[in-house]
Amino acid sequence: MHFEFIESIGDVDEKAWNALWPSNYPFTKHQFLLALERSQSTCTASGWTPKHMIARGETTLVFAMPLYLKHHSYGEYVFDWSWADAYARCGLEYYPKLLNAIPFTPASGPRFASTHQALKEKQLWQRVGDALKHECERVGASGFHSLFPDAHSQQPWKHNHFLQRHGCQFHWFNRDYQNFEEFISDFSSRKRKNIRKERQKCKDISIEFKIACDVSVDEWQAFYQLYHLTYLKRSGRPGYLHVDFFLQLAKTMPEQLILAQASIDKSLVAAAVYFRDDNCLYGRYWGSAKDVDGLHFETCYYRGIEYAIEHKLKHFDPGAQGEHKIQRGFQPIQTCSYHWIARPEFSDALAHFCSQEKYQNALYIDEARSYLPFKEGVQTVEDSVLMESSNWP
């Protein structure tokens, strides 16, 4: 195989790219990545220069990897600001860096795809690693990073002995529940009463889930205003995504894109965007016009759980961070990322940093599990099961 680095996902045929990916995971689809580019959400001006890695056989695409040249660390959710600061204090440039990730999407999943024939090639993992290192050298990148890879996508980084970092997220798992009440029946009595009390605050709010093909352009515009203003209020900066991103996906991925609209007296007060595949629901973007007690939890968590139960989805990934999810039945799970740093002196120091961080992360997950609301004896999901499963996430 000969690896190429292309400047746009549009340089690859949509059907050829999508045919490589074995699951219905939404975030590596050609349509998703193209919408990011066409809406200018990922471009050099936004700090996300597309540089996707591909390999072609005699007649068809045999390898694909979403890849970006990053000029900052925003929108990644694996935080390396301290690494960049260490470079700066030594008079060195940390940026650009080469990033294998889904922009603005901390959802674990496949990070490359290949044909079965390509996988059988001897030294494939070594060749992938060598090609990425060479590209880093060619463009002057400080290193390479792969964020939130699933178990299969970790193989080349393990083979090349890249640094591994661990993180933590909080996810919900479906134990074949028939409804929300059956789910919280696994809670202790006190925690169950707390959930019912919290949900009661939103009893007069109408929340409707719509697949994208049933959402009008005006409704997408209204959601975007809420999303944009909420980002400005919380972070002082606009949202990463442009309205054209949502409008294009509504046309190209309508069955996997969902808009939840919360209204009071038929007036929209909040909205949330979800994605889904065959096994998992992904909570992604949120916006509200005003603060209503309990509305965020109801729209982004409880109604998401109800949707997953109704549609028999096994897993609900509501997004990064948020210890408040624990008491609502979202379990702490281990996430990971892999890193290659070109300068050996920094790589050695960061290897020690990652080792200490992994230890602290493991302690944190153990402690977080002790705060789960479940009754004694209710089974929880272990990281080993998650990471070894080909169906995760």
Residues 139 and 27 in one domain: yes
CB 272 within 8 A of CB 285: yes
CA distance 20 to 66: 13
Residues 295 and 338 in one domain: no
pLDDT of res. 382: 58
| Residue 322 in domain | no
pLDDT of res. 392: 37
Q: Following DSSP, what letter does each residue of 159-221 receive, concatenated? A: HTT-EEEEEEEEEEE-SS-SSHHHHHTTB-HHHHHHHHHHHHTTTT-EEEEEEGGGS-HHHHH
Single residue among 283, 313, 343 that ends a domain in this structure: 313
Residue 251 identity: K
CA distance 87 to 367: 33
Residues 207 and 68 in one domain: no
Instruction: From residue 63, give the alpha-carbon distance in Å to each of 3, 10, 109, 156, 196.
Output: 8, 16, 16, 13, 49
pLDDT digits (tens, 9 = 90+) for 106-147: 999 999 999 977 777 778 888 999 999 999 999 999 999 999
Residue among 365, 366, 369 nearest 378 (CA): 369
Residues 18 and 162 in one domain: yes
The token duo for 131 is 């090609």
Give phi and psi for 221, each to the nearest 5: -65, -40
The residue range of the domain holding 200 is 175-313
Residues 164 and 290 in one domain: no
Residues 26 and 120 in one domain: yes
Residues 139 and 217 in one domain: no
CB 174 within 8 A of CB 329: no
Single residue among 313, 347, 377 that ends a domain in this structure: 313
pLDDT of res. 390: 37
pLDDT of res. 389: 40
Residues 10 and 155 in one domain: yes
Single residue among 249, 278, 313 that ends a domain in this structure: 313
pLDDT of res. 391: 38
The token duo for 275 is 């994605």
CA distance 387 to 344: 30
| Residue 91 in domain | yes
Residues 16 and 164 in one domain: yes
Q: How many domains are contained in the chain? A: 2
Q: Residue 149 has what DSSP assignment?
A: B
CA distance 226 to 390: 36
Residues 19 and 162 in one domain: yes
Residue 86 CB: number of other CB atoms within 10 A?
Answer: 16
pLDDT of res. 188: 96
| Residue 306 in domain | yes
Residues 90 and 137 in one domain: yes
Residue 364 identity: Y
pLDDT of res. 378: 83
Alpha-carbon dihedral 83, 88, 94, 95, rounded to 10 degrees: 120
pLDDT of res. 58: 82
What does DSSP say about strands 280-288 and 315-317: parallel, antiparallel, or unpaired?
parallel
Q: Name the pTM for this structure.
A: 0.94
Q: Which residue ranges in the chain fall short of pLDDT 70? A: 382-393
| Residues in Cβ contact with 29 at an 8 Å cutoff, skipping those fewer than 6 apart | 18, 21, 253
Instruction: From residue 188, give the alpha-carbon distance in Å to each of 314, 323, 365.
Output: 22, 19, 20
Residue 94, domain CATH = 3.40.630
| Residue 318 in domain | no
Residue among 70, 121, 74, 80 nearest 100 (CA): 70
Residues 284 and 351 in one domain: no
| Residue 148 in domain | yes
| Residue 352 in domain | yes
| Residue 327 in domain | no
| Residue 107 in domain | yes
